[in-house]
Structures are given as C-alpha cells and as structure tokens.
Amino acid sequence: MSTDEKVYVSNATNVLKKVMVCSPKYYTFNGINVITSEWMRKGDTEKNDVMVREWEALVQAYRDNGIEVVEVEAKPEFQVMTFARDYGAMVREGAIMGHFRHPVRQVEAVAYEQKLKEMGVPIIARCNAGCFEGGDFWMVDEHTLAFGMVDRTDEAGVANLRDQLQKYGYTVVGVPCPPYNLHLDMVFNIVAPQVALACLDELPYNFIQMLKRRNFEIIPVASEDMYKHGCNVECIGDGKVVAIEKNKHINDKMRALGLEVIDVPFDQILHAGGGPHCLTQPIERP
C-alpha cells in the first residue's frame, strides 16, 4: 500500500476519529429480535422522545472526546434504521456493504450507502449472496476478520465476503452462535488491545481458543447479561470505552483493568435490541 492511500479502520481499538450514526426519532418497535419481542409482549412502546435523549447522550460523549459525528437523516419509512452498525462494516481500505436479513431493514442500505458516497468512502466488497449484518463483524487483529453466524448473518454471506476480501490479505473466520443472541456484538466485544468482553457459554470453543492464542485477556460476561447488553459497548481508543451505566458490575471489571469507562444512561433504547456498539459505525479509526 502506498503512503498516500487513506486508511479508514485499522483495527477495533485505535483512537476513533469519525463515526456515522442515525437518530431513533422515527424508530418503530418490530418483533425481529427476542429483546424487542419480549418488551412488545409486555405492552411497551417506543417512547421515541426518551430514545432520542439517550441517543443524544451517546453522540455528546463522542463529541466530548473529539470524535467527528456524521448523522444519516432518520426517515419515518425506515422503521429500524437507528442501528447504524448493521448495514455493513469498515476495514482499512473502505466499506463492506452487507445484506440485511429482514425486509423491514433492507430499505436502510440505500441511505447509508449514499452517505458513504458523500464522504468519499470506497466500497471494497458487497454481500451479494446470503446475508451479512455489521453487528456480526469484528476485526480480531489487522488481518483477521470474525463474522458471527448468529441470527442475521449466514454461511453463504460469510463465504461470499471471504472470497471478496481475500485479495486484501484478510483471513475471514466464521463464529457460529445460538440465534437468540442476535448478533456477535451482543456476546463479544473488543474493548482494548488484547482485551475482550465475552459471554463464554455462548461462543464456540474454537473461537475462544483463537483469542487465547492471540493472548487476549477475556472478561467473562454471564449469558443472562446478553439481554442487558452487557457486551454492547464501544471502544473509542486511548483506553476509553463508552458503556451502559446500568451494567455497573461489568463496567467495574473494565475499570479494574485500568480502562476509563464513559457511562451513558441507556434504558429505553435498549428495548429496541441494541446498545452503543449497534448505534455506531466507525468511519475513521486509522
């Protein structure tokens, strides 16, 4: 790679410079995940004003830490659009466009792709067989890409992207997990170099062994904490993590390792089935 080529996202833990987000202003509850389905069964509603306030706290945390925030316009016809992570993923060379499993979300891709185009971000791969959503994507290191095969990403999608990403020197690893976990970022999250939160009972043995071989320190998270978005945090680099205030026991474990945890007061937005990681697409993390 020549020195004048722009680097977008090098890994999961470098300092975050720029993110893409979308307000939950028009978010509509949709029973496409176990968390939201359960809240709908209990008679809960969106409470968009509350969701927007919580989301604004996340955006403010990013701005307070010098991160440029690019907002994709929320529109009523895009019911589930606030989870900006899911349309795809970013690597060093540019964007990977996914393919949503559910039709209610497939419509979002156009708006996100348009914003990438406006920012001049190249699309280097596109899931055109099977399904892939960005909540299933992790850069384990600068060469190894993990794709969760949980509820929304399938084997065909992973195989399709493996073929396309090979020429950039990436190794693609599939990580099968029980489907009720929704996305890989609900049970696994890299929070600092060689440090990860992990629901060990939900992850395959081979993946855990791979992390250990790479000398990861694993902070264990109980399976029931998946429903509280215990793993759903956003590393912003420089030893800082944006996390959900209510998950104090998990945040304390990260603090014990010397990480600075920035709490966001999430509650209602979690009923939609996502946390800080789901709401954030890193655009620049060189």
Is the separation of the CB atoms in 87 and 100 below 8 Å?
A: yes
246 occurs within a structural domain: no
Least-confidence region, from 70-79, 238-247, 275-284: 70-79
Where residue 120 falls (left for φ over 0; alpha for ψ -120 to 50; beta otherwise) is left
At residue 85's C-alpha, the angle toward residues 139 and 64, to 5°, is 90
CA 120 – CA 113 distance, rounded (Å): 10
Q: How confident is the model at residue 39 (pLDDT cuts 50, 70, 90)?
A: low
Looking at the predicted structure, is the pLDDT value of residue 1 above 60?
A: no
Average pLDDT over residues 266-279: 92
CB 190 within 8 A of CB 140: yes
Query: Looking at the domain assignment, is residue 235 inside a domain?
Result: no
Over residues 4-23, mean pLDDT: 96
**Is 158 within 8 Å of 130 (Cβ atoms)?**
yes
pLDDT digits (tens, 9 = 90+) for 56-89: 999 999 999 999 999 999 999 887 889 999 999 9
Residue 157 and residue 130 in contact, taking contact as beta carbons nearer than 8 Å: yes
> Is 40 domain-assigned?
yes
State the maximum Cα–Cα separation within the chain, in Å, rounded to a whole number: 56
Any domain includes 209: no
Q: How confident is the model at residue 4 (pLDDT cuts 50, 70, 90)?
A: confident
How high is the pLDDT of residue 44? 66
Confidence of residue 35 (pLDDT cuts 50, 70, 90): confident
38 has a pLDDT exceeding 90? no
**What backbone torsions phi and psi does residue 76 show, to the nearest 5 degrees?**
-55, -30
Is residue 236 included in any domain, yes or no?
no
Note whether residue 59 is domain-resident. Answer: yes
pTM: 0.95
As given in the structure block, the two tokens for residue 85 are 């992570």
Q: Under a CB-based contact definition with an 8 Å cutoff, are residues 39 and 271 in contact?
A: yes
**Distance of alpha carbon 148 from alpha carbon 113, whole angstroms:** 22
What's the one-letter identity of residue 57?
A: A
| Cα 103-28-38 angle, rounded to 5 deg | 90
Nearest to 140 by CA among 99, 186, 184: 184
Q: Which residue range is the domain that position 43 belongs to?
A: 18-183+266-284
Residue with tokens 């008679």, as numbered in its chain: 43
Say how far apart CA 222 and CA 53 lie, in whole Å.
Answer: 29
CATH number for the domain spanning 177: value is 3.75.10.10
Out of 22-31, 126-135, 173-182, pick the least confident.
22-31
Q: What is the pLDDT of residue 28?
A: 86
In this prediction, residue 37 carries a pLDDT of: 74
pLDDT mean over 109-138: 98
Q: Is the pLDDT of residue 2 over 60?
A: no
Average pLDDT in the 87-114 region?
A: 95
| Inside any domain, residue 97 | yes
Q: For a pLDDT cut of 70, what percent of the chain falls above it? A: 97
pLDDT in tens, 178-212: 999 999 999 999 999 999 999 999 999 999 999 99
Return d(Cα 78, Cα 115) in angstroms, integer. 15
Mean pLDDT value across the chain: 95
Phi, psi of 49, rounded to the nearest 5 degrees: -65, -40
Report how many domains make up the chain.
Answer: 1
Contact 225, 199 (CB under 8 A): yes
Q: What is the pLDDT of residues 208-238, one digit of tens each?
A: 999 999 999 999 999 999 999 999 999 999 9
Of the candidates 239, 232, 241, the residue with the CA atom closest to the CA atom of residue 279: 232
In a domain, 6, yes or no: no
Contact 225, 232 (CB under 8 A): no
Cβ pair 58, 276 in contact under 8 A: yes
Separation in Å, CA 241 to CA 29, 46, 91, 256: 28, 27, 20, 13
H-helix segments, the chain: 34-41, 48-64, 103-106, 108-119, 155-165, 205-213, 248-256
- Res 273: pLDDT: 84
